[in-house]
Structure 1
C-alpha cells in the first residue's frame, strides 16, 4: 500500500501547475470618454499625455513575469490618487496583484515627481 501512495505522490508532483493570468483590458477602449472622466478625473487625451511623459520611466526592457503596462500603471495610480482607496479594491478593478498595485503607485509617483519641473513653476513677486 505504501508503494502505491508513493507512486501517486510522484505523479502528482510531475503535473505542471496551471497559471491563471488576469485579463488586463484597456479601460480607455471599454469606457466612454465621460466614463473615463468620471472614474479617473481626466479625459482620455490627458491620460495619454501623462503616459507619454512618464513612459520611459515605467516601461521595462523585458516582458519577464508579465509587467504591468505603463498605461495600466498610470490608470491604477490615478484612481488611487483620486479616491485614496485600499489596494485590495484597486486589485479587483484593474486585475493586478496587491503587491503590484503598491509598486505601481510608487513608480508612477516617482516618475511624476521627476517630471514636475516641466509643469510646475514658482514665481517670486
Structure 2
C-alpha cells in the first residue's frame, strides 16, 4: 500500500521555501495502526515529521511498533533524512516532538505488551 504526503514550508512572508511530496510504502495488514503523530519547525527553519506504525504479528505473538522521523535540515538544502526507531515490548499510544536547546526530543506515552504480544489495556 502506498501513502503519499505533501508538505510546504513557508517563510515569514508566506513565500514557499520548500515544497515536496513523499511516499511511504507499507503492507496493509489486519489491525494496522498508522498515524502522522506530529510535525514541527525549529527556529533554524529545520522541519520534522513523525509517523508511527503498529501491527500485530500473530505468528510470533508480538506487536511490531516503529516510530519514523523524517528530517529536513535547512543547512542540508532540505534533503530528506530518515530515522527509524523500533520499539520492543511497547506499543506507541502517542508521540510528539519538542525542539529545545538545539536538541530534538520525541516524547509520548507507550503501553507495555503482554506475553501474547497484545497491548495492556484496562477495561
Decide which structure has greater strand share.
2
Bigger radius of gyration, 1 or 2? 1
Higher helix share: 1
What is the TM-score of this pair, normalised by structure 1?
Answer: 0.27
* More relative contact order, 1 or 2 (CA 8 Å, 6+ apart): 1
In the superposition, the TM-score normalised over structure 2's length comes to: 0.27
